[in-house]
Structure 1
Amino acid sequence: HNAEFQGLWPLRTQQEKKEVCSVFNLPVETATKYCQFGNVFNLLHTGASYLRFHQRGFGAVGVSKKYGKRSWARYPIFWSLDKIGSLPNPDPTDTAALEDTPDEKALTRSYEERITDKLEAQKWAGLTEDRNADLLVFVGRWSKQKGVDLIADVIPAVLSDRPQVQVICVGPIIDLYGRLAAIKLGRIAAMFPGRVFSRPEFTALPPCVFSGADFALIPSRDEPFGL
């Protein structure tokens, strides 16, 4: 579902190769045969190599017909395979038995319950506690692929134009795009006190951060979704 995030480590020298192999407890010969793609240790290529050597290239699927074909055409690590099939993400409710009397209370939460969760999330993040605020939340890796830099680029204009908007961004920094986003969001938080919470590190989050959000920010660049 995310062919862009391949798990990469440089293998530019024999010393780097030995270090990476020691981390994964792999013989150098095995890493060279299965894992190395060019001068890079590539975990996704390892999976493709296994299919090539042991399953005649059969067994790779994407989460949709379009994404499987697109991934095969876009990423050279898959070109040794004949194709990438599809196994669309299922919705369990599509095949589940119908209930005569579904319990709607178990499926829906009241407006006041959502407001309570929002106020708890605001308190946890140190934001201004405002039941009428629009709370936007991003939780994920801070990387180019996840699009956190796009949030940092556009959010100042959103905050300026919409005084009711608040933002929570949490997750570990993965690359330079994430590091730049962390610098920007830190500055933005200072510019809009009580409205922006930025924590560029892995953090255990209380459930209210998710249940109290009005909108989840998912600006992924290379996955088959993005909001």
Structure 2
Amino acid sequence: NDYHGAAAPLYLLPRTIPCCLSLHNAEFQGLWPMRNPQQIQEVCRVFNLDQAVVKKYVQFGDVFNLLHCAANYLKIHQNGFGAVGVSKKYGKRSYARYPIFWGLKSVGALPNPDPSDLADWDSNASKQPEEVTVDLEFEASRGALKKQAQEWAGLKVDPDAQLFVFVGRWSMQKGVDLIADIFPSVLDAHPKVQLMCIGPVIDLYGRFAALKLNRLMELYPGRVYSKPEFTALPPFIFSGAEFALIPSRDEPFGL
């Protein structure tokens, strides 16, 4: 899965094993610089790999690239076969976007399975729409959960409010800057909307978003809560919200 275990087969060389590369988030590739002999020696020592092996499998330009290592292993030992994306579109999108995959024949699709689905596969199942069951008891409790979330964040307690929540890394990839840019108009147009954004700042996009969201807290007191740092959250933050914001730019599960 992604770059994290990509170097593992290298430690078995010259023995090879069949491998499959599953791409969930190809934006993160496991990178270290290899711009000079000192950096090359350092990263090779850290991973306990011979420089010749690193040059053959891992190095991409002047960068130690673990995801390139996974793709290159498939190219060298499996004729470029064995890479998939976790949605029908993500494999094609990753193949077109990242040059490290251009040595492969293609990047296929392996849609994420439901880990709770243990039944035998039925080819006709997709033709039979599942009946949606609404948990009325849980839905009846959402008002109390929303009140807890509003009190926790210092928002105005309003049972009729529409609560939007973003929890994640504040970075360009996660799209937090889109929230900061769009929500002033949303808050103006919809007086019942409330916004909560929580998570650590990762890059300049996240830093600018934090400045904008802090200003929104001043302009819309009781309606906006911004906390740009890692925070352990109680479950009612998610259960009490009407909308979970996931405007990811790269991952297949962004909206």
Give the alignment's TM-score, normalised by structure 1: 0.83
RMSD between superposed Cα atoms in Å: 2.8
| Alignment equivalent of 2:160, drawn from 122, 132, 148 | 132
Of 235, 239, 244 in structure 2, the residue corresponding to residue 207 of structure 1 is: 235
What are the within-5 Å matches in structure 2 for residues 110-149 of structure 1?
110-149=138-177
Q: Which residue of 1 aligns with 2:104?
A: 81
Contact 1:21–1:28 under 8 Å retained in 2: yes
Is 1:176 the counterpart of 2:204 in the alignment? yes
Q: Which moved further from structure 2: 2-11 or 202-211?
A: 2-11
Q: Take 2:248 and 2:195, find their aligned partners in 1: how far apart are those partners?
A: 17
- In the alignment, the residues of structure 2 paired with residue 117 and residue 190 of structure 1 have an alpha-carbon distance, to the nearest angstrom, of 25
- In structure 1, give the amino acid aligned to 2:101: F
Following superposition, the deviation at residue 93 of structure 1 comes to: 7.6
Structure 2, unpaired ranges of 5+: 1-23, 126-130
User: 1:53 offset after TM fit, Å?
Assistant: 3.7
CA 1:81 to 1:116, structure 2 compared with 1: closer, same or farther past 3 Å? Answer: same
Partner of 2:71: 48
Give the equivalent residue in structure 2 for 1:36: 59
Contact 1:69 1:84 in 2 (8 A): yes
State the 1:33 CA deviation.
3.6
Structure 2 match to 1:194: 222
Greater mean deviation of Cα atoms: 170-179 or 24-33: 24-33
Measure the CA separation in 2 of the matches of 1:16 and 1:180: 32
State the alpha-carbon separation in 2 of the partners of residues 14 and 177 from structure 1: 33
SS of corresponding position for 1:122: helix
User: What is the one-letter code of the residue matched to 2:169?
Assistant: R
Residue equivalent to 1:151: 179
Counterpart Cα distance in 1 of 2:198 and 2:251: 20
Per-residue deviation, 1:57: 2.7
Q: Is the 8 A contact 1:18 1:28 kept in 2?
A: no
Note if 1:220 corresponds to 2:248.
yes
Query: Displacement of 1:212 after TM fit?
Result: 1.0
More helix per residue: 1 or 2? Answer: 1
- Higher mean Cα deviation, 30-39 or 131-140? 30-39
- Matched residue count: 221
Q: Secondary structure at the match of 1:121?
A: helix
CA distance in 2, matches of 1:19, 1:183: 38
CA contact (8 A) 1:17 1:28 kept: no
Q: Which segments of 5 or more consecutive residues in structure 1 lack a partner in the other structure?
A: none
Bigger mean CA offset, 32-41 vs 170-179: 32-41
| Larger CA Rg, structure 1 vs 2 | 2
Tell me the CA shift for residue 10 of structure 1. Answer: 3.7
1:2 corresponds to: 25
